[in-house]
Homo-oligomer: A and B are copies of this chain.
Amino acid sequence: MNNQSKIRIRWLNPIAQPHYDEPMGMALKQVANAGTEVEVVSLQSEAKMDNLEYRFYESLVIGDVVKVAKEGDVNGVDAMVIGCFYDLALEDCREICQNTLVVAPCQASMQVAANIANKFSVIVGQVKWIEQMTERAERYGYGGYLASMRSIDMSANSLQCDTQVTTDRIIEAGRLAIEEDHAEALILGCTCNFGLYEKVQQELGVPVIDPLIAALKQAEMLASMKQAFHLAPSNKWSCEPPSESEMLKFGLHSLTESIGNRFLIS
């Protein structure tokens, strides 16, 4: 493979507050390849949500998420990560993108996990999340790999408050997943768990997937395949995007406004 040019990855925090952008960016910087440029963006949304614990909140940002994807698609982003374990709007973004490869943490984590274990469990924040994330797992084909989903009874935004507490609870839930549900590997079911996988892995003795790392690595791999082998999203049948002319007719020109904050690392 010829010398690769720089790879441009966009990591989207799909909330309307910028405060995760820098810490997430710093976490990504530590794990990105040398040749990767990562841009962390969050949304410019009317509703100033700082979490996506509810379908309602998701529904309010999905339009902006897709616009951010489209903005990247026409501005040279090689791969975009939708930075939430619900993988919201994943199929929508893929439909609209003809150049940018779109990746999401739940699918990416499960793809990695399926390479190292036959059964895995997901440690989620709240019971509330289980039904929807299970539906995602099944859509991706990973229903048969799921040993269980287990909750630690914490909201997404509390996961980084006291990481010792969070880690302890993950270890407790993870141990039950291994012993009672026969999990062979664990996935941390929220991108806000960044920085925690190592300690859990050491303590429990099974592989523990950090979705931030899994998603970034998947994005880098697909982006490098895009550059070297013209890998691109399908635009056939269910993947067919609308025509540019119709989109213009409907007034979808100001895509840039959907981006609230940008934080660039390289």
Contacts and interface: CB of A to CB of B under 8 A. Distances in A.
B112 A55 contact: no
Interface stretch (A18-26, A134-142, A158-166): A134-142
A48 to B, nearest CB: 5
Interface string A100-128: 01110001000110111111000000011
A4 to B, nearest CB: 7
B1 A33 contact: yes
Nearest to A56: B96
Contact of A250 (B30, B47, B91, B103): B47
Interface in A51-110: 53-63, 65-67, 70, 89, 91-92, 94-96, 101-103, 107
Interface residues of A, number: 97
A139 to B, nearest CB: 7
A65 B240 CA distance: 23
Interface string A147-171: 0000000000000000000000000
A182 interface: yes
Nearest to A143: B141
Nearest to A50: B250
A139 B205 CA distance: 25
A264 interface: no
B217 A220 contact: no
A145 interface: yes
A218 B217 CA distance: 10
Given A55-B91, A89-B59, A224-B217, A114 B140 contact: yes
Contacts of A30: 1
A221 B116 CA distance: 13
Interface in A221-257: 221-222, 224-225, 228-234, 236-242, 247, 250-252
Contact of A131 (B49, B65, B237, B250): B237
A187 to B, nearest CB: 12
A260 interface: no
28 contacts: A1-B33, A31-B228, A54-B241, A56-B92, A56-B95, A56-B241, A56-B247, A59-B63, A59-B89, A91-B132, A107-B115, A112-B231, A114-B140, A117-B236, A118-B237, A118-B239, A119-B238, A131-B238, A141-B143, A178-B236, A185-B234, A205-B236, A207-B231, A210-B229, A213-B229, A217-B221, A217-B225, A221-B221
Lowest 5 A-B CB distances belong to which pairs? A141-B141, A131-B238, A117-B234, A55-B92, A184-B234
